[in-house]
């Protein structure tokens, strides 16, 4: 073979080298070929006790079936309000780092464009991405275009809530759109969102895996539901409670249609499905057996139901006691799908895939903050209220947070408070949080964890 015959081969090799370098330069460096699909089903203001498998009043057979076929994450935490939870989920970072410490208002900047979102990383890796439902991370400036944040498709509404039938927002304007264009559609919003999710699964690009976030507005206010569903609960519930139950029932039916379409497309074994809520319920809902509600860092405001299904890898019908939070979700899913992600900013979420598979929890610290702050280390939880008062609870022996042990277990309270002070520095400087998650309760310095009987003696 002559030397000239080698030239095309040399050029091909050189091109491959350049292509490899360009792939390594982006945050997601693994190809999406043969990677699993991701479907996140996010309820809005759903309490721990609102689902059927926790004894709720609404009938939720499809969510219950998902729990029976998957793993229930028994110690999964969100945030006290909508926007911080959604921001934390999409970025894998504390929302306090970028100023989202409560519900984003229309005049607020919202989620800064400088924040890297996991769906955008998946999109760069070859995933088809969609957000169906609620955004609530800013409607001003660049944030008005959700497609710029890593979603090939956005269908839903921008603000905190909409009328379920008229699709009008808090200021009376139509807040219903597809890819940045306001649209007029008839129908109950929960049904429309579920139907769109089914449509996207059916018409997907079959050469690509997909990541779909279905962000329902149910059961967030305004409390509205189809009359036929409300009638189903009249007699045993008052009118308001019957409407609330009907809203959850409608969402469950929509989830059932989504799960059925996944099966119809033979995607069950290729799709990881997650169901959870952005925060606890308001007064009309049920957070029992926990204390507190939405906008509070007591368990009722942040300890939410969460189920994940991945047939073949996660043991069906089990409960996992690993301490985890909504900012761990996408880092874990990235590992579960086999994608390597190189974040451009310090991450606070971490992959817990091995713990979810093995069912063996590891020691962990998480911080959940809004106006009040909560830091949880294994069974211990310290709350610092906005007025400066501190409370300490042992969640294993006192899940309803009825016995404040801040005075009787002062050393543990002091150590956790010290870590909380470190957290505040971390979010202010946007620095790495590595030291924050090192051991808080050292055996040689503090008493052993309270047993139930020991806790009783401190009353």
| Active site residues per annotation | 82, 136
Q: Give every strand in the sheet of 306-309, ordered side by side.
A: 181-182, 177-178, 153-157, 128-134, 210-215, 37-43, 271-277, 306-309, 71-73, 318-320
* Cα separations in angstroms, 382 against 59, 385, 403: 35, 10, 12
Count of all residues that appear for the chain in the document: 459
Residue 250 CB contacts under 8 Å (≥ 6 apart), including other chains: 188, 190, 191, 218, 225, 226, 229
Using DSSP, state whether 102 is helix, strand or coil.
coil
- Cα R_g (the chain), whole angstroms: 23
Partners of 374 in beta bridges: 368, 383
Using DSSP, state whether 387 is helix, strand or coil.
coil
Give the integer Cα–Cα distance in Å for 280 and 80. Answer: 7
Q: Give every strand in the sheet of 365-369, ordered side by side.
A: 365-369, 373-377, 380-384, 390-394
Contact status, residue 76 vs residue 304, Cβ threshold 8 Å:
yes
Residue 412 CB contacts under 8 Å (≥ 6 apart), including other chains: 380, 382, 392, 405, 441, 446, 447
Using DSSP, state whether 409 is helix, strand or coil.
coil
Contact status, residue 395 vs residue 455, Cβ threshold 8 Å:
no
Supply 34's token pair: 């043969």
């Amino acid at each position: 073979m002559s030397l000239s015959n080698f030239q095309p081969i040399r050029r091909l090799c050189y091109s491959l080298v350049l292509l490899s370098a360009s792939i390594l330069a982006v945050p997601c460096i693994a190809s999406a070929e043969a990677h699993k699909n991701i479907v996140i089903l996010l309820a809005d203001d759903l309490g721990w006790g609102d689902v059927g498998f926790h004894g709720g009043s609404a009938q939720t057979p499809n969510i219950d079936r998902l729990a029976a076929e998957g793993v229930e994450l028994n110690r999964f935490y969100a945030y006290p309000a909508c926007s911080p939870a959604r921001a934390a989920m999409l970025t894998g970072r504390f929302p306090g780092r970028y100023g989202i410490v409560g519900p984003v208002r229309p005049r607020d900047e919202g989620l800064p464009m400088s924040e890297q979102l996991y769906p955008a990383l998946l999109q760069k890796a070859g995933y088809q991405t969609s957000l169906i439902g609620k955004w609530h991370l800013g409607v001003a400036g660049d944030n008005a275009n959700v497609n710029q944040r890593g979603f090939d498709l956005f269908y839903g509404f921008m603000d905190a809530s909409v009328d379920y039938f008229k699709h009008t927002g808090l200021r009376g304007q139509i807040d219903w759109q597809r890819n940045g264009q306001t649209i007029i559609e008839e129908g109950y919003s929960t049904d429309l969102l579920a139907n769109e999710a089914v449509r996207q699964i059916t018409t997907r690009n079959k050469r690509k895996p997909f990541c779909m976030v279905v962000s329902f507005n149910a059961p967030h206010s305004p409390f509205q539901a189809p009359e036929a569903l409300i009638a189903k609960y009249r007699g045993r519930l008052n009118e308001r409670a019957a409407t609330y139950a009907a809203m959850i029932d409608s969402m469950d039916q929509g989830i059932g249609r989504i799960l059925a379409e996944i099966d119809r497309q033979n995607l069950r074994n290729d799709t990881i499905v997650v169901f959870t809520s952005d925060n606890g319920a308001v007064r009309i809902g049920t957070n029992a057996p926990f204390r507190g509600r939405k906008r509070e860092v007591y368990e009722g405001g942040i300890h939410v139901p969460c189920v994940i299904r991945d047939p073949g890898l996660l043991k069906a019908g089990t409960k996992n006691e690993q301490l985890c939070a909504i900012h761990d979700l996408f880092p874990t899913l990235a590992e579960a799908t086999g994608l390597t992600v190189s974040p451009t900013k310090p991450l606070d979420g971490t992959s817990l895939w091995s713990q979810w598979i093995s069912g063996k929890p590891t020691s962990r610290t998480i911080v959940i903050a809004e106006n009040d702050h909560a830091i949880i280390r294994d069974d211990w939880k310290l709350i610092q209220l906005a007025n400066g008062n501190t409370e300490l609870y042992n969640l294993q022996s006192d899940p309803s947070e009825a016995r404040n042990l801040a005075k009787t277990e002062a050393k543990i309270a002091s150590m956790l408070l010290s870590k909380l002070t470190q957290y505040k520095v971390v979010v202010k400087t946007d620095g790495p949080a590595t030291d924050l998650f090192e051991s808080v309760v050292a055996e040689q310095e503090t008493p052993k964890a309270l047993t139930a009987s020991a806790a009783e003696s401190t009353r």
